[in-house]
Amino acid sequence: MIFKKTIMLISILGCVSLVYGQASHKMKVQDGVFFDVDNHPLFKFLSDDWTMAYWFSPINNVASSNIEFENGEEAFTNFIDSVYAYHWAAEYGEREINSWTRYVILFDSNLKIKSVHIVLGAYAKKEWGFDELLRKMLYATEGRWRKKNPQERFEYYYRLGSFHFI
């Protein structure tokens, strides 16, 4: 009986902390424009399927999301996880935060990374530097992207995604 009550209490506390963590962080959107964690205006979607966006910072142009990581989504996940595992153990003392982070990578026409913006930061103390860790991880993907349609000609491309810090 005590065991069941303990499990119930742990479950309730876990749900409350999860709800609190998700409720306290929200993406800033104003007039359809998404902002990063540093309050810089980033983009506004131009299509219902999120394949094109108008960029406000650091460029003023239309960008396409019609790109992919070499060898597919699973290869991207495995690569990012391996970079994270290295930094998590080496630099972050295996600190656990259990938080989803949203990001966007902006590429030029040659798919060189121009910038990485955190749209929704990790639910952790700012001084722990998880936003910077995510930027470092995403910059490590440089040179591993390709256009889904090689004939497509946009000046800029972007990747919108999320990462789960454990």
Q: pLDDT tens across 13-60, in order?
A: 333 333 334 434 577 888 889 998 888 999 999 988 888 999 987 789
According to the model, what pLDDT value does residue 51 have?
85
Domain boundaries, the chain: 26-165
3-state secondary structure the chain: CHHHHHHHHHHHHHHHHHHHHHHHCCCCEECCEEECCCCCEEEEECCCCCCEEEECCCCCEEEECCEEECCCHHHHHHHHHHHHHHHHHHCCCCCCCCEEEEEEEEEECCCCEEEEEEEECCCCCHHHCHHHHHHHHHHCCCCCEEECCCCCCCCEEEEEEEEEEC
Q: pLDDT tens across 80-126, in order?
A: 888 777 666 666 666 666 677 889 999 999 999 999 998 877 665 56
According to the model, what pLDDT value does residue 63 have?
95
According to the model, what pLDDT value does residue 50 have?
80
- Higher-pLDDT residue of 165 and 149 is 149
